[in-house]
């Protein structure tokens, strides 16, 4: 689809500008606020699923209206596989959510969680802690062979679009989720706050991998979304930066933040796993491949030189 610009296309240019600068606040900030409102007013899980489905549909629409790389909107014979990854991982995350009350015994004390804070502040607090835990697990997944074998499934993609965030080995998703959630369980996170997290994680994953050419301006240094996350999927050493899911806070603290104006990857040949263009593409094989890689460790993702564009 895509808008065309021309000398007389000022209205198209205006529309593009509105979509570029307006879609991210609507799809991430607006939809996140809607999820938090639904949880705060005890509307139950179904309306939240509706907001998530609406966000997914709008994300795919906007990817076609303002594509970052038009070729990445076309199937790379990966659509069926990515749907399977998405359905399995969304189901597992939500199933895990319902087990949270079983872990209430882990709470250090009833008084640790700041339950007297406004609800939305409690959610932001939870997100910041979750973000640090997930980013640490993600960072470790680029350092240790066993974790990398599981995480490599996510890095095998040759195009970036909204669904990539859910394209993970379910065991690796479990590792990341537990690492992020454990500190919250220790702090005694209330179930009403916790119920927002799988949805907010899904919204952030959509924003992080979207092929929409949206712009955050200076906020790209705060939020770990597409403009900075695209570097993380390069098949060279640039892929060992930007581990955050919601924010770049962890990366700024750990010295693993990377952004280079004009050097963002824009071709499939720049994406994937260095030296492993043969990584299996079939869903069932992707479930098994990490265990084969654990038997005969493969090169780690930092084995290729860092790419620099001038
Ligand atoms: Zn990674």
Give the tens place of pLDDT for each residue, 261-273.
988 888 998 998 8
State the distance from the centre of ligand 1 to the C-alpha of 242, rounded, in angstroms: 8
State the distance from the centre of ligand 1 to the C-alpha of 238, rounded, in angstroms: 11
Q: Show the low-confidence residues of the chain (pLDDT under 50).
A: 1-5, 7, 304-310
State the distance from the centre of ligand 1 to the C-alpha of 46, rounded, in angstroms: 31
What integer pLDDT is reported at residue 304 of this predicted model? 46
The structural domain count of the chain equals 1
State the distance from the centre of ligand 1 to the C-alpha of 304, rounded, in angstroms: 15
In 3D space, the residue among 157, 227, 205, 158 whose CA is nearest the CA of residue 52 turns out to be 205
What integer pLDDT is reported at residue 301 of this predicted model? 66
State the distance from the centre of ligand 1 to the C-alpha of 297, rounded, in angstroms: 17
4-52 pLDDT, tens digit per residue, is 445 456 778 888 889 999 999 999 999 999 999 999 998 888 999 999 9
Model pTM score: 0.88
Residue 309 lies in a domain: no
Give helix 10-24 / helix 45-65 axis angle, nearest 10°: 150
Residue 102 lies in a domain: yes
What integer pLDDT is reported at residue 191 of this predicted model? 87
Residue 60 lies in a domain: yes
State the distance from the centre of ligand 1 to the C-alpha of 241, rounded, in angstroms: 8
What integer pLDDT is reported at residue 160 of this predicted model? 93
Query: What are the φ/ψ torsions at residue 212 (nearest 5 degrees)?
Result: -75, 140
State the distance from the centre of ligand 1 to the C-alpha of 117, rounded, in angstroms: 34
170-191 pLDDT, tens digit per residue, is 999 999 999 999 999 889 899 8
Residue 103 lies in a domain: yes
Residue 5 lies in a domain: no
Residue 69 lies in a domain: yes
What integer pLDDT is reported at residue 299 of this predicted model? 66
What integer pLDDT is reported at residue 305 of this predicted model? 45
State the distance from the centre of ligand 1 to the C-alpha of 148, rounded, in angstroms: 8
State the distance from the centre of ligand 1 to the C-alpha of 18, rounded, in angstroms: 31
Residue 3 lies in a domain: no
Domain ranges, residue 232: 10-303
Residue 93 lies in a domain: yes
State the distance from the centre of ligand 1 to the C-alpha of 141, rounded, in angstroms: 7
């Amino acid at each position: 689809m895509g808008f065309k610009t021309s000398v007389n296309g000022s209205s198209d240019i205006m529309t593009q500008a509105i979509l570029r600068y307006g879609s991210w606040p609507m799809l991430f900030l607006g939809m996140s606020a809607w999820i938090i409102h639904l949880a705060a007013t005890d509307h139950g899980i179904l309306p939240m699923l509706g907001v998530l489905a609406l966000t997914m549909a709008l994300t795919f629409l906007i990817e076609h209206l303002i594509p970052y790389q038009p070729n990445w909107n076309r199937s790379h014979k990966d659509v069926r596989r990515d749907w399977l990854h998405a359905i399995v991982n969304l189901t597992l995350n939500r199933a895990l959510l319902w087990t949270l009350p079983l872990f209430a015994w882990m709470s250090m004390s009833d008084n640790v969680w700041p339950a007297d804070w406004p609800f939305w502040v409690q959610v932001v607090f939870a997100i910041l802690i979750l973000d640090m835990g997930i980013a640490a697990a993600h960072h470790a997944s680029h350092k240790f062979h066993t974790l990398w074998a599981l995480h490599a499934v996510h890095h095998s993609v040759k195009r970036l679009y909204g669904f990539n965030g859910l394209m993970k080995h379910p065991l690796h998703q479990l590792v990341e989720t537990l690492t992020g959630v454990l500190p919250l369980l220790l702090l005694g996170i209330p179930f009403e706050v916790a119920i927002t997290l799988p949805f907010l994680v899904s919204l952030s994953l959509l924003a992080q991998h979207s092929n929409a050419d949206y712009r955050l301006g200076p906020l790209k240094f705060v939020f770990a979304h597409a403009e900075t996350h695209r570097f993380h999927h390069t098949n060279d050493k640039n892929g060992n930066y930007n581990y955050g899911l919601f924010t770049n806070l962890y990366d700024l603290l750990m010295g693993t933040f990377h952004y280079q104006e004009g050097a963002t990857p824009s071709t499939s040949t720049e994406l994937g796993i260095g030296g492993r263009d043969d990584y299996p593409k079939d869903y069932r094989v992707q479930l098994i491949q990490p265990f084969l890689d654990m038997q005969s460790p493969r090169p780690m993702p930092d084995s290729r030189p860092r790419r620099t564009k001038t």
